Every structure is written in C-alpha cells, then in structure tokens.
A and B are shown apart, each in its own frame.
Chain A
Amino acid sequence: MIQQILFFIVLAGAGYLIAKRVGFIRSTINLGKKADITDRKDERLRNVLLVAFGQKKMFKKFIPAFLHLFVYVGFLVINLEVLEFIIDGLAGTHRIFAPYLGGFYTALMNTFEFLAVAVLTACLIFLIRRNIVRTKRLNLHDLTRWPRMDANIILFTEIILMLAILTMNASDQILQTRNDHYTATGSLFFSGFLLPLFQNVETSTLIIIERFAWWFHIIGILAFAVYVTYSKHLHIFLAFPNTYFAKLEPKGKMTNMPVVTNEVKSMLGLADANASATVVEPGRFGAKDVNDLTWNNLMAAYSCTECGRCTEQCPANITGKKLSPRKIMMDTRDRMEDVGKSLQKGGPGLNDGKTLLNDYITKEEINACTSCNACVEACPVLINPLEIILELRRYVAMEESGAPPSWNSMFQNIETSFAPWKFSPSDRFNWSKES
C-alpha cells in the first residue's frame, strides 16, 4: 500500500512538472506572430507520415539513421511497457498483463528486450561518435558546453534505463522459480544472459534488486520525461507538428509582406478601392526579436535536436564563416527561454534591453547567408533556418538601413538604374547590336 501511495505521488509529481513546463513552452511559442497554416491538409499529413513518422530524410545518412531508428522504435514500443508499469504501480499488482496474454506476453517481453539491447547499443555508438570518434558536425564551435552535455546526458540516461529493464527481468526470472507472487513470463532471451549474475543471490536480496530496478526504471522514465521538456530532446514530440506546419511552397519563394504591398500600391497609385478595408497592422518590418517571428518559426526552434546536418551543409560555415544555421535555431530558442523566464518572474520579458538580433545572432552571421537552402534541405524534421535569417535581414535593411555598404550601393543602383550594377538603363539592349 505504501508503495502504491508513493508511486501515485511520484506519478502526480512528474505529471505536474511536465504540465507546468508544457504551459511555459506554449506561452513562449505564443510570443510569435500569428500565421494561418490551415491549408493543404493532405500534403501536410503526408509530410508527418513520411518525414516524422517514416524518418524519410534521416536516411540520407544511412548509419546514423539506422541506429536512430532503433532508438526511435525502442522509444515507441517500450512505452507500451510503461503502461503496465503504471497500472502495476497504482494497483499494487505485478506484471498485470502476463496472465491475460500468456505466450504473447513472452513474445512481447522478448521484443522489448531486443529493442532495449538495440537502444543500448545505438546509444553507446552515439556516445562514441560524439566523444571519441568526434564526428565533425557534433563537435563544431556552435555546440557549446551545455548542448554537448545535454546530448551526453540523454544518451547516458537511455543506456541506464535499458540496463534497468534487463536487470529487472533477470532478477524477476529467478524469483519466478522461487516465489508464486512473481507471475511466469516465459523465458526471456537477452536478460537470460544476466542470470548467472543473480543465480546465487539470496531471495530477499533478489527481491530488493528487482524492486530497485523496477522503481529505478519508472522513476528514471518519468524524470527523463520531465528532463526532455528542458532539453533538445523535445524533438521526439515536436518533430510531428513541425513537419505538419512546414512550408509546402517551393523553397525559393520568400514570404510576402502584405504591409509593404499595400504601401507600394498606394505609392504607385494602384491601391484598390477596398484596400482600406483590409488594414494590416504596421508593426515592425522584419524581425528584431522573437515576437517578430511567426509562432511556427518559434516552434521549429523547440523542434531542433541540434544534429548539425544543416550546418554541415552550409557553404558559409564550410568555408569558415561564423554563420551556423543550427546556431540560428538554438539562439532563437535560448532567447524564447530567456524572455519566458523573465516574464514568469514578473520581469521585463522582451523589454530586458536585449534582442534576438545583435545579442544572440550577429549581423556578421546573417550577412554570410547565400540563401542556398542547403540547411533547409538537410533538416530531417523540416526546420527552416533561412526564414529566420531573411526576416532578420529585413529588419536590418528596412528599419536600421544597416545593410552592408555594398548592399546599400546595390539598392541605389536598382533604384536609379534598374539593375544591381551601375549601368545606364538605355544601354540595357545594347547586347543585341554587338557581334
């Protein structure tokens, strides 16, 4: 009974922390501007199925994709076992599904064990890639101390959780031969290898080991679930909505600014009679801070798991410039978190004297972008760092007139000669007279 009460408290505590954190994340995403993304539902659903659920874009890199698939399937399937854990924990039962499922339960447990070993192996290889082989994209400058530690904590925790399952099953199997309370599971292949370790352990100690592993696993999973909401690992949930809301138009198309369209039309005397009926609120041109970006730009920042496939493909980054599309997403997220935390404490929030542009992302970074879309193409969950870069550039050019001098000359040339270079417009057709 005490165990049941304790379990309830742990479960409720984790639920409370997660709910609170989800509320916080939702509020920071809502700092963003409204964007109506309700069109082309079929194509959007298709993206979710192919890209998020089906991991289509991951498979451009086969080895990490293959290992990641194990962790992903492991996560989805082993969560079924968590359901049994929760029922057992609340009802005070032990392996409640086993008597009902019989032989199928054995098959199910063996599947879980296979996945546990696969997850464990994959995470070990991931740790080696990160810290020993030092795969380049996982060791670039934009990954500072915390992001690197975050990644290692995730991998390490997953390994420990899988070890707990195997330990629990091994000790349980021996207890099944000694005590009726332990429902027969049938023989379990992978934890079977651990049996010699526990064979000569006394029953009372074994019970403690089994209970410890059980509690460790479930508390571990719940703690991990709370941790995920603070971590880059949030992609396990947000990859799904992010692929749903991703841009469907050709990658080359930039978002239009209707505010500017209205102004230009009235300047050229083209304004339609009913234009005044659709007044668009002026606001800021482009983006200086996170509230100038749309909510789905902001959600994308929370969907990023910092894999660095974007930065690895970025021509500017490859040639040693400061720009890193991954850092654009990480900075956006950091800014959202900082503003959100400040607001939570009744602080100034967005008015804390800092802005996304300049204090998090510098002009040097955004000026280096060739808008080549390599980062957008590379992202396995359809994040679009280019949209953010271009919005920041809009702010710099239109609100600050702070574009690089050569760009300002180019603007001037277009205004006066209708070409980005300083040629006379009357010479535009001269080529036809040359041999």
Chain B
Amino acid sequence: MNVPTVADLAAKGESPEILFWIGCAGSYDDRYKRVTKAFVKILNAVNIKFAVLGTEESCTGDPARRAGNEFLFQMQAMSNIQVLNGYGIKKIVTACPHCFNTIKNEYAELGGNYDVIHHSAFLQQLINEGNIKLEGGGSFKGKKITYHDSCFLGRANNIYEAPRAVLEALDADLVEMKRCRTTGLCCGAGGAQMFKDAEKGKKEINIERTEEALATGANTIAVACPFCMTMMSDGVKNKEREAEVKVKDLAELIAEAKGLN
C-alpha cells in the first residue's frame, strides 16, 4: 500500500496537496484500521497527492478536553500545531469527526489555522466532481442502508447531507431512523464516554440506538465515526444480528462499490 509520509515528501522537497489525519482509532483500532486503508485506496485511486504524519501524529486531545483536562488537551494541541505548522500543512482530511471538530474549531485560537474537511464531505466532492464514478452503484444498488449521524459531524458542525449524498451515489435505498439529523441519537461514546463505563441506568445508549437502526430493516448501518463504529458494532453483536447486519464506514462502502478491496 502506497502511504507517503509528510517527512518522505519533505525530504524530496515536496509537500502534499492534502494531509490525511488518521486519528488514534484509525491507527490502532483493528476495525477502524480497515477504514483508514479503504480511504487510502480511494485517495490512491483518484491520484490525489496526499501524505500522512505517520509516527509524528499524536492524539488531538479531544477526549482529554471533554473529560475536563484542559492542560493535557492544550499540550497535545500545541505540539500537534507545531508539527503541522512546521510542515506548512494547509489542508487536512480526516475520517474521525472528533479529530475533525477539534482541529477545525479548536486549534485556530491556539495558532493552528487549516482548511479541515471530514472524509464524508471529501468523498462527496470526489463524487460531485466526477473523480469517483459509481456506475449503477455496484453491489449496493437498491439495498437498504441506514445512516447513523455522528453528533460531532451533525449537531456539532452541521454536516448532515454530505454522508447521505455519498450513500445516495451508491444507488442504495437510504432509510432513515426515527431520530435522525438534528435529533439523531448519540451512539453513547462522545464526550470521552468511549473511555469509561457508563453511569448506572436502565440501558446502554448504544443498545437503544442499535434497536432503532435494526428497526429500519436495513442490512447495512453506515457510520462516519470510529466511536460510532465501535458502539454500533457492539450493539449489533449484543442483538446477535452480526451475521446479516453489517456496520460500515462510508469510505469502506465506496471502496467496496468501486472494487478497490
């Protein structure tokens, strides 16, 4: 797999058109690494001059900030900004809505000004500009897909339509859950909940959301966030439906439809 690092390019006196920010889940989580790879395949297929930071990347600090540790967040932010500014990075794409939100909205006042785009909006652009052509939608034509809104894309940044536009390009039958877009129910992992057990209650949030997703009758639950991916996959397993219901990221669906696997 051709994955150039920014350092590689810099050694040749070059710089990337766009930096692909992988995020911690995309780097370490076995399930989300598949999303990272699917997106790299797409980037390679459309011949975009991209690069990654490789081992120079580091947590954006989002979970620390949401859990209240502002010091740790700012330490992470400052060192990331130093690396990014050091390489003169202007444009960043990421498949993680949390990284996206933090770098786009929170790095600016700490000295990091970049044009940040989430991979859903990036894929939508590629499709709109004809760089990705999906003749007949491939294997997803007419199949029921439901999209689970990520809070950090949706309410946090008003991105509701880009992921849906990507799914529509698959010619799939997009079915909505009862709670969607502005009223979409959280998967339960935001605000650093990913990193601790839930407080005492009647039910796990991801089970509530998975039940809603399963009620649509869709066999594919599309997600656009690593935490949503984990929570929804766990939910489907909990309901013992993993044999017929798949949780997939937008990039995986596009890569699959394009036969890039």
- Is there a chain A Cβ closer than 8 Å to B260's Cβ? no
Q: Mark B35-67, 1 if CB is under 8 A from A, else 0.
A: 011001000000000001011011101011111
Contacting residues, chain B, for A410 (C-beta < 8 A): 63-64, 67, 192, 195-196
10 contacts between A and B (CB under 8 A): A252-B105, A315-B185, A371-B190, A407-B69, A407-B196, A411-B69, A425-B58, A428-B27, A431-B26, A431-B33
Given known A254-B65, A315-B205, A323-B199, contact A432–B55 (CB-CB < 8 A): no
Decide yes or no whether A374 CB sits under 8 A from chain B.
yes
Given A250-B157, A368-B198, A370-B186, answer yes or no on A396-B68 (Cβ-Cβ < 8 Å). Answer: yes
Instruction: Determine whether the beta carbon of B109 is less than 8 Å from that of A256.
Output: yes
Cα–Cα, bound, A131→B205 (Å): 29
| Given A319-B203, A411-B64, A418-B59; 17 other pairs, CB 8 A cutoff | A252-B152, A256-B110, A257-B74, A263-B71, A316-B199, A318-B185, A371-B151, A377-B182, A406-B195, A407-B192, A410-B196, A419-B59, A420-B64, A427-B28, A431-B26, A432-B3, A434-B37
Shortest beta-carbon contacts, A-B, top 10: A252-B156, A397-B68, A320-B202, A371-B191, A393-B68, A320-B201, A372-B186, A406-B196, A253-B105, A372-B151
Interface residue A270 (Cβ < 8 Å from any Cβ of B): yes
Query: B243 at the A/B interface (Cβ < 8 Å)?
Result: no
A423 sits at the interface (CB 8 A): yes
Q: How far is the CA of A174 from the CA of B75 in the complex (A)?
A: 79
Q: How far is the CB of B173 from chain A (nearest CB, A)?
A: 27
How distant is the Cα of A267 from the Cα of B59 in the complex, in angstroms? 19
Known contacts A406-B197, A414-B63; A419/B152 CB under 8 A: no
Name the residue of chain A whose CB is nearest to the CB of B101.
A252
B158 within 8 A of partner (CB): yes
Residues A429 and B101 in contact, CB atoms below 8 Å apart:
no
Whether the pair B105, A428 counts as a contact (CB closer than 8 A) is no
Instruction: Chain A residues near B65: list those with CB within 8 A.
Output: 254
Q: Interface readout for A257-274 with B: 1 if CB under 8 Å, 0 if not? A: 100110111011010000
A315 touches B68 (CB 8 A): no
Inter-chain contacts of A393 with B (CB < 8 A): 66-68
Residues of A contacting B33 with CB < 8 Å?
A: 431, 434
Question: What's the nearest-Cβ distance from chain B to residue A310, in Å?
Answer: 12
| Residue on A nearest B57 in the bound complex, by CB | A428
Name the residue on A nearest B152 (C-beta).
A252
Q: Is the CB of A398 within 8 A of B69?
A: yes
Q: Which of B22, B40, B151, B200 sits near A370, CB closer than 8 Å?
A: B151
A322 in contact with B151 given A370-B191, A414-B63 (CB within 8 Å): no
- CB-nearest residue of chain A to B80: A418
| Pairwise interchain contact A264-B205, C-beta atoms closer than 8 A | no
Nearest B residue (CB) for A417:
B59
CA distance A415 to B70 in the complex (A): 13
A-B contact count (CB 8 A): 212
Q: Report how far A431 CA is from B27 CA in the complex, Å.
A: 6
Among A256, A404, A426, residue most surrounded by chain B Cβ atoms (within 10 Å) = A256
* A129-156 to B contact mask, C-beta < 8 Å, 1/0: 0000000000000000000000000000
Interface centre among B1, B26, B64, B104 (most CB of A within 10 A): B64
Q: Given A372-B155, A394-B70, check contact A414 B64 (CB 8 Å).
A: yes
Q: Residues of B contacting A421 with CB < 8 Å?
A: 24, 28
Within 8 A of B (CB), among A342-388: 364, 367-374, 376-378
| B199 adjacent to A374 (CB under 8 Å) | no
A286 touches B155 (CB 8 A): no
Shortest CB distance A231–B (Å)? 29
B72 interface residue (CB < 8 Å to A)? yes
Tell me whether B17 is interfacial, beta carbon within 8 Å: no
Q: State whether B196 touches A370 (Cβ < 8 A).
A: no
Q: Quick one: CB contact mask for B197-224 with A, threshold 8 Å, 1 for yes?
A: 1111111110011000000000000000
Q: Which residues of B contact A60 (CB under 8 A)?
A: 183
In the bound complex, what is the Cα–Cα distance between A267 and B5 (angstroms)? 29
Q: Which residues of A contact B250 (CB under 8 A)?
A: none
Give the chain A neighbours of B104 by CB distance below 8 A.
250
B28:A419 contact, CB within 8 angstroms = yes
A257 with B70, Cβ < 8 A, contacts A270-B78, A320-B203, A428-B28 known: yes
Considering only CB atoms, which chain A residue lies closest to B32 in the complex? A431
Kindly state the separation between the CA atoms of A374 and B69 in the bound complex, as whole angstroms.
Answer: 23
CB atoms of A429 and B68 under 8 A apart: no
Bound form: Cα–Cα A425–B57 in Å: 9
Query: Is B131 at the interface (CB under 8 A from chain A)?
Result: no
With A370-B191, A373-B151 in contact, do A390 and B58 touch (Cβ < 8 Å)? no
Pair A253/B201 contact, Cβ less than 8 Å: no
Residues of A within 8 A of B113 (CB): none
- Residues of B close to A414: CB separation below 8 A: 59, 61, 63-64, 72, 76
Residue of A nearest to B111 (CB): A270
Task: Choose among A256, A377, A425 the residue that contacts B55 (Cβ–Cβ < 8 A).
Answer: A425
Give the nearest-CB partner of B199 in chain A: A368
Per-position contact with A for B74-87: 1 when CB-CB < 8 Å, else 0? 11101100000000
The residue from B22, B61, B68, B157 contacting A395, defined by CB atoms under 8 A apart: B68
Contacting residues, chain A, for B106 (C-beta < 8 A):
253-254, 256
**Interface membership of B235, Cβ < 8 A:** no
Contact in complex: A397, B186 (CB < 8 Å): no
Whether B78 lies near A265 (C-beta < 8 A) is: yes
Report yes or no: B199 in contact with A321, Cβ–Cβ below 8 A. Answer: yes
* In contact, B158 and A250 (Cβ under 8 angstroms): yes
- Of B27, B59, B110, B151, the residue contacting A261 (CB under 8 A) is B110
Measured between beta carbons, the chain A residues less than 8 angstroms from B3 are 429, 432
Nearest CB of B to A348, in Å:
28
Residue of B whose beta carbon sits closest to that of A375: B155
> Separation in Å of the A252 CB from the closest CB of chain B?
3
Check B200 against A321 for contact (C-beta < 8 Å). Answer: yes
- CA–CA, A407 and B58, complex, Å: 18
Answer whether residue A70 sits at the interface, using C-beta atoms and an 8 A cutoff. no
Is B16's CB within 8 Å of the partner chain A?
no
Q: Is the CB of A321 within 8 A of B155?
A: no
